[in-house]
Amino acid sequence: METVKAYGASSATSDLEMMHIDRRDLTGNDVQIDILYCGVCHSDIHTARSEWGPASYPVVPGHEIVGKVIATGPGVTAFKEGDLVGVGCMVDSCRECSACREGLEQYCENGAVMTYGGKDKHLGGHTFGGYSQNIVVDEAFVVRVPENLDIARVAPLLCAGITTWSPLRHWNVKKGDKVGVIGLGGLGHMGIKLAHALGAYVVMITRSMDKAEDAKALGADEVLLSTDEKAMQKHANSFDFLMNTIPVGHDLNPYISLMKRDTTMAIVGAIEPLKSVHGGMLVSKRKNIAGSMIGGIEETQEMLDFCGEHNILPDVEMIDIQNINEAWERVVRADVKYRFVIDMKSLQ
Ligand code: NAP
Ligand code: ZN
Ligand code: ZN
């Protein structure tokens, strides 16, 4: 066992502070990764503040991890020392249920082991995430980072990237489709980039008109202000697909109005009760409201390879770990352009 430095929260109301956590010794298929960069996801905040139900403390967040392999267990075949790799939201699953067998580990029927706050079957207690010096992960849950990508910007692909990629693929978004991405934060900005790269006509749907120029630079063809009723009406019944990244429960009806017959709005943001949905609006045009959670490991590798081929990277603001509490406040205020990444050198 190795003790490493980390940043974590010891209660729902405390700031993150430096602490020490244990990493297990390498067993057969384990890979030890020196963490170079870790992205900051809004889920880190929801979890640490027990907004999704009581968390197990301390919470050491971080599920957008990139780093270098520094050691491998005797059974490891896919990776070697020095490889650039990533770890996302999961570090294990049962690998036997129908979901796991289909490469949908995130929907594991026995519960995937999340990167932080999951049940740690090796050391007992719960898992600790990437706001730390290093991590030990089974190779089956490690992905390869394409060499051509700027490593300092890759981390957010491991959650924001795959969470937006998976629904675009699942609902078969293709060239020419009119896609609306709702909420321009970490997920939203990746949603724009990926939908644009798939050839869609992308409309950024935001409350913040001051983000309009940025949205276009990110690849949006149009910006729609969700608070402008007239503009919303002009787009009624016109979208082929909506991706909703709003992080809290909200009124879905204005967005449902935007959808064409037989199309889907995938909820990826609000993992909590949503406000009223008018059944008539779904019934009258056979509209679907669905949910989507991250993506499987194979699909995560597919997304990384796609980003490698098209040189797609998030727009990041680099911070030192010592500034994490301030960064979290900015995420909550929707004041992030468009993902914070922690330079983990600052923890050494
Ligand atoms: P984020 O950076 O905070 O972005 C969310 C964006 O939503 C904001 O920038 C803002 O955009 C908009 N927004 C915020 N509050 C709003 C409100 N009250 N009403 C309407 N719009 C609002 O968050 P993120 O990291 O992208 O994550 C988004 C959500 O997805 C979080 O809840 C996170 O936990 C969840 N998540 C889910 C999965 C999954 O697997 N499904 C994976 C990762 C994250 P505008 O200023 O443009 O309006
Ligand atoms: Zn996340
Ligand atoms: Zn399973």
Which parts of the chain are beta strand (E)?
2-8, 17-23, 30-39, 65-72, 84-87, 90-92, 113-114, 134-138, 143-144, 178-182, 201-206, 222-225, 239-244, 259-267, 288-291, 316-320, 339-343
Inter-residue contact 341 to 155 (CB < 8 Å) = yes
| Tokens encoding 304 | 């990384």
Omega of the bond leading into 58 within 30 degrees of 0 (cis): yes
Q: Buried (b) or exposed (e) across 102-129, using 16+ Cβ within 10 A?
A: eebbbbbeeebbbbbbbebebeeebbbb
Q: Is 245 in the pocket of ligand 1 (CB under 6 A)?
A: yes
Q: Is 225 in the pocket of ligand 1 (CB under 6 A)?
A: no
pTM above 0.95, yes or no: yes
Give me the phi and psi of 179, to 5 degrees please.
-115, 130
The gap from C-alpha 221 to its chain's centroid, in whole angstroms, comes to 23
> How many angstroms is it from 63 CA to the middle of ligand 2?
6
Render 320-338 in DSSP notation, one character per residue. EGGGHHHHHHHHHTT--SS
Q: Looking at the CA of 62, which ligand is closest?
A: 2
Q: Is 269 in the pocket of ligand 1 (CB under 6 A)?
A: yes
Q: Under the phi-then-psi rule, with left for phi > 0, alpha for psi from -120 to 50, and beta for the rest, what region is 176?
A: left
> How many angstroms is it from 106 CA to the middle of ligand 3?
8
In the chain, what are the domains?
2-156+314-347 (3.90.180.10), 161-291 (3.40.50.720)
Pocket of ligand 1, candidates 204, 245, 267: which has the most ligand atoms within 8 Å of its Cβ, to mutate?
245
Q: Would you call 17 helix, strand, or coil by DSSP?
A: strand
> How many angstroms is it from 186 CA to the middle of ligand 1?
7
Q: Looking at the CA of 116, which ligand is closest?
A: 2
Tokens 């276009």, residue? Answer: 216
> How many angstroms is it from 225 CA to the middle of ligand 3?
41
Per-residue pLDDT of the chain (348 residues; tens, 9 = 90+): 999 999 999 999 999 999 999 999 999 999 999 999 999 999 999 999 999 999 999 999 999 999 999 999 999 999 999 999 999 999 999 999 999 999 999 999 999 999 999 999 999 999 999 999 999 999 999 999 999 999 999 999 999 999 999 999 999 999 999 999 999 999 999 999 999 999 999 999 999 899 999 999 999 999 999 999 999 999 999 999 999 999 999 999 999 999 999 999 999 999 999 988 999 999 999 999 999 999 999 999 999 999 999 999 999 999 999 999 999 999 999 999 999 999 999 998
Q: Would you call 317 helix, strand, or coil by DSSP?
A: strand
> How many angstroms is it from 332 CA to the middle of ligand 1?
9
